[in-house]
Chains A and B, each alone.
Chain A
Amino acid sequence: MYDSHGHLSNSLQTGIGLFYFLVTLMNVGFAAYQHFERKDKLQTMIWSFVAGVFFLHSAAYLARMGWPIFPPLEHAVNFVMNPVSYFVLAVIGFSKLIFFRRIATEPVVAWSILMGTLWFGGLAMTNGNFSAIITKPDNVPIVMLIFSVGFLTWLALRKMVINDARLDRGEPPHEKTLEEKVLVWPDLVYTELIAMVICTLILIVWAIVLKAPLEQPASSARIPNPSKAPWYFLGLQEMLVYFDPWMAGVVLPTFIVKGLMALPYIDFNQKGNGYYTFKERKFAITTFLFGFIVLWCVLIVLGTFLRGPNWNFFGPFEAWDPHKNVPLNNVNLSDYFWLMGFGSSIESKHWLIRELPGLFFVFVYLAVIPPVLAKTVMRGFFIRMGFVRFMILVTLIQFMASLPIKMVLRWVLNLKYIVFIPEYFFNI
């Protein structure tokens, strides 16, 4: 991305310039919306000004001024980012979004967040390490995923907020006011036709602009570092940091599929069928959003953009150094228990004795917690769902929660395995 003099390459600057020009147009559109639709003078002024700022950026890059991203900012971001802070920030951001959904989905607020992201994204592209990983052909879909999930999550939450307010006023949700029937020809078939034309156009442009990747011929001798699965499985590959392959690669994916299929049969809530609502389905929506956004999409982004050679973590502006050395000093629960607790050796013990503490915890987690929940905090669920449904629900949530639990144990206690029975490949 840099030429021999350390300047930004011309093609990259043109790209960033065009990108900022597009953002300028978006803000002109938003300002026009504020002016003509909302008749809001202050907002019109603000977004006209923002459009001007973006236009300046656009002109600067198109004129090859070569503004780089502020280096201390790069260092600060790299310094702050690690697997713990990344995931914790994602969880905090997610909870804030859910909690402050009324404010966060206000168009002006959401637009500000988007503009901040686009502004920073454009500047970040001037960093060679960042742009190299973002523009890898097979990574481009993830950028699309981030923006489409972001936009649609905003749209859905916005509709939920509006519908919840309507329900509070005793009105039916917006969708229920559209019960009237219309003919499929022309209303639906034309929409489909237009959608098909737009998709075809996008696909053709995408195919012309971006070549499909083709690397060196396959060789079983040269193992690339890092070796990564296709991007949509990188959330699962990230789980390998915390679990053995039998859990991360087989058991947990199986539970995801089974859990999704079981979902309509365990969700006993009859409300919220056919319209957006949050307040009528708080538990279901929060759980699903957490699973899809935090445990799936956020981990895919982590696995793709921030995991380099040897699956080490690299900040977004950090060079992928294959010799980066990260000390691994993780300890098994049995070591903690026998060595540090009793000072006795663990080698001489039979595996069953050795792993008794870990097996005890797993037993408590899977067998004791569900009935306790049924008696206490989830009593209402248990009564309404019945034994079988309740047990399936709690088991699914426990397997889902096992990942964040293992993450926290790793980060706080350096815990490697709760149960470690390599004799039978049974490590948890």
Chain B
Amino acid sequence: MSIGDYIRNTQVWKSVFRHPAPRDRRNRVVVMLTNVFLHLHPVSVRKSGIELSYTWCMGGITFFLFLVETVTGVLLMFYYRPTLEHAYNDILSLRDVTTLGILRELHRWGAHAMVITIWLHMYRVFLTGSYKPPREFNWGIGVILLVLTLLLSFTGYLLPWDQLAIWAITVGSNMARATPIMGHEGPGAKALVIGGVDLIHSGSDARFLLLGGRFVGETTLLRFYVLHCVALPLAAALLIAVHFWRVRKDGGISGAL
């Protein structure tokens, strides 16, 4: 008896994988049904659906990068404190002190790559007409996931608290004060006046809500940190679950039903 067969016959192995190795057709079906992670997939797919030049693999890579970002992000949280006193120095020591310090590089380049791959995924889905019925709703979920990805990247951009970070966020968030009605320099904001008192001013508008202040400061750092590490990833994870579920329920990755 080979060592592989011996291991596969132990009680421990059999308790984890409750069927023989997926070498014949029956067990290749069973493996997909008895494993919660593999169960994200159907048992069988159309040949066109796994042709690399057709799918470009971009949706899968985007999800993989999301996982990379989650793992490296959790590890980065061990080293990083979102306060004016510590933020920059923590990043500095992450670069200079930490052994094999490529954690931040993995996280940052993974994030940039994820922005690109999600665009390319969307590009492929459009060009193959895969948003057409019955997948209209899932395309909409995908658009929200696109926005969440950009917001995740945007909120993360601030955290190193260097010149690159705060000015990029300042430029980006300055747009919010021009929001129609809700921003104090937006069209229509001046119409919201009660008894001569402006309702929308720089201390109450959309930009203030985003930054937690009139400029990018410590409250902004905390706000972006919480959004980046908790709120946005949770929302993204939830919608990814819906997205994958609907891919299966809508009859695979593309093609008319």
Give chain A's interface residues, CB within 8 Å of chain B: 138, 140-141, 144-145, 148-149, 152, 155-156, 159-160, 175-176, 178-189, 191-192, 195-196, 199-200, 203-204, 206-208, 210-220, 222-224, 227-230, 232-233, 236-237, 244-246, 248-251, 257, 260-261, 263-265, 267, 269-277, 281, 285, 288, 292, 423-426
Contact = CB atoms under 8 A, between A and B. Distances in A.
Nearest to B22: A185
Interface of B: 22, 25, 28-29, 31-32, 38, 41-48, 50-54, 56-57, 60-61, 64-65, 68, 88, 91-92, 95, 102, 104-106, 108-110, 112-113, 115-116, 119-120, 122-124, 126-133, 135-136, 139-140, 143-144, 146-147, 150, 153-154, 157, 160-168, 170-172, 174-180, 183, 185-191, 215-217, 254-256
Contacts of B54: 159, 175, 276
Contacts of A149: 120, 123
B187 A425 contact: yes
Contacts of B112: 138, 140-141
Given A195-B61, A199-B65, A250 B175 contact: yes
10 contacts: A144-B116, A208-B102, A214-B91, A223-B167, A228-B171, A232-B153, A246-B180, A272-B132, A273-B129, A273-B133
The secondary structure that dominates the B interface is helix
A31 to B, nearest CB: 22
Given A182-B45, A207-B105, A288-B126, 5 more contacts: A199-B61, A211-B105, A229-B171, A245-B175, A275-B255
A141 B108 CA distance: 11
Contacts of A211: 95, 105
A184 B32 contact: yes
Nearest to A259: B143
Contacts of A187: 45, 50
B166 A180 contact: no
Contact of A196 (B64, B95, B167): B64
B186 A141 contact: no
B193 to A, nearest CB: 12
A246 B171 contact: no
Which 10 pairs, one residue from A and one from B, show the smallest C-beta to C-beta distance? A249-B175, A274-B255, A207-B105, A264-B136, A245-B178, A178-B47, A178-B48, A246-B178, A141-B112, A426-B187
Given A152-B123, A186-B22, A263 B131 contact: yes
Nearest to A248: B175
A90 B252 CA distance: 36
Contact of B163 (A206, A215, A425): A215
A216 B91 CA distance: 12
B162 A207 contact: no
A312 B30 CA distance: 62
B154 to A, nearest CB: 6
A274 B130 contact: yes
B208 to A, nearest CB: 15
Which residue, of A206, A211, A273, has the highest number of chain B Cβ atoms within 10 A?
Answer: A273
Given A195-B61, A288-B126, A229 B172 contact: yes
B28 A183 contact: yes
A251 B180 contact: yes
A33 B107 CA distance: 38
Contacts of B60: 192, 195
B164 A138 contact: yes
A218 B256 contact: no
Contacts of B28: 183, 185-186
B255 A175 contact: yes
Nearest to B174: A245
Contacts of A208: 102, 105
A322 to B, nearest CB: 15
Most buried by A among B41, B115, B178: B178
